[in-house]
Amino acid sequence: MSTDLTYDDLESASNLSQTLVLVGRTGNGKSAVGNSILGRKEFISKPSFVGVTHTCQSARVVQDDSQIINVIDTPGLFQIVRPADSIDDEISRCIKIAKNGIHAILLVLSVRDCLRGDAKVLSHLQTLFGSKIANYMIIVFTGGDELEENEMTLEEYLTQEPPEFIKELLELCDNRLVLFDNKTKDQLKRVEQVQKLLALVELVTKQNNGKPYTEEPQKRIKESEMKLEKQLAPEQAAPLEVSKEYA
C-alpha cells in the first residue's frame, strides 16, 4: 500500500525509471488516475468535499518492458478546510521525494466540472514551480465514462466552446492530453489509456532532452519573497528616518 513519504523513500532512479506527479483541484479524480496507472488500488479515492489526500504519497509499478513508473499523488488544490500554504508546502515536497527529478506533471481535470476553480490551477502551479513547468505538463481529463454514455469523444467535447483557460492550457502544453475512464471494467481499455499516457510521457522526456524537472519550488518562493522585501525596504525605511528627526 502507499504510505506517507520521507525524502529517502524513493530509490535512486535509473534510465528505466520515470516519475509522474499528479496535481489538480480536489474532486477531479487525481488518486483514481494514479490507481489506474498502477493497475491496482494504492491511493485512497472516494467522493469528498474536503479531499482525501493530505500528504504526498507514492507507489510504483514495473511495466512488462521492466520500466519502473513512480507515481506521486499530492493533496488537492484549493481545499476548503485546509490552509493554502500547508497544501503548497506539501506539494513542493514532491521535488525532494523525487530525488532524481520529475519526468511529467499530470494535471487532472474533470469533464464533469472543468470550470469551478480550475482556471486558477495553472497560474498557481507556475507560481510554485516556475513557468517552465508547462514543458513537463500533460492534461489528464477524467470522466471518460460520461463522454462514452453521451457518445462523445474528447475531441468533440473540446470543440464545444471550451472556456478560454482550457484553450490556453492546451496551447501551453502543445495539446498533450489524454482521457481516462477510471470506472471501466474493460481491462483492454484500461491498458490502452495508460499506454497513451505513457507515450505522452515519453514525448515530454524527449522534448526536454531527457532532463527531468528538478527545480525546488520553495527556493523559487523564497527568492520571490526576498525580491519583494528588497523592493519594499526603501518604503518601509522612510518613516523610520522621519521619526528619528523628531526623536
pLDDT in tens, 114-166: 655 566 777 778 877 888 889 999 999 999 998 999 899 999 988 887 778 88
Residue 35 pLDDT grade (very low, low, confident, very high; cuts 50, 70, 90):
very high
Strand stretches in the chain, DSSP E: 3-4, 17-24, 57-62, 68-73, 104-110, 137-142, 177-180
Specify whether 136 is located in the same domain as 79.
yes
DSSP state of 25: B
Specify whether 200 is located in the same domain as 172.
yes
If you average pLDDT over every residue of the chain, what do you get? 77
Q: Is 229 exposed, middle or buried (0-12, 13-18, 19+ CB in 10 A)?
A: exposed
Helix ranges restricted to H, the chain = 30-38, 84-97, 121-129, 144-149, 154-158, 164-172, 187-207, 217-245
Specify whether 106 is located in the same domain as 223.
no
Residue 17 pLDDT grade (very low, low, confident, very high; cuts 50, 70, 90):
confident
Specify whether 80 is located in the same domain as 114.
yes
Specify whether 161 is located in the same domain as 133.
yes
Specify whether 60 is located in the same domain as 144.
yes
Specify whether 244 is located in the same domain as 181.
no
Specify whether 89 is located in the same domain as 79.
yes
> Which three cell numbers mark 46?
472516494
Structural domain including 236 reads 216-247
Specify whether 228 is located in the same domain as 173.
no
Specify whether 125 is located in the same domain as 140.
yes
- The total of structural domains in the chain comes to 2
**For residue 242, pLDDT beyond 80:** no
One-letter amino acid at 166 equals I
Instruction: Please give the residue that has the higher pLDDT: either 205 or 51.
Output: 205
Specify whether 209 is located in the same domain as 220.
no
CATH code (residue 200) = 3.40.50.300
pLDDT at 2: 52
pLDDT at 80: 41
How many CA atoms within 13 Å lie on the side-chain side of 199?
Answer: 9
> Which three cell numbers mark 238?
522612510
How many CA atoms within 13 Å lie on the side-chain side of 214?
Answer: 7
Specify whether 208 is located in the same domain as 221.
no
Q: Is 76 exposed, middle or buried (0-12, 13-18, 19+ CB in 10 A)?
A: buried
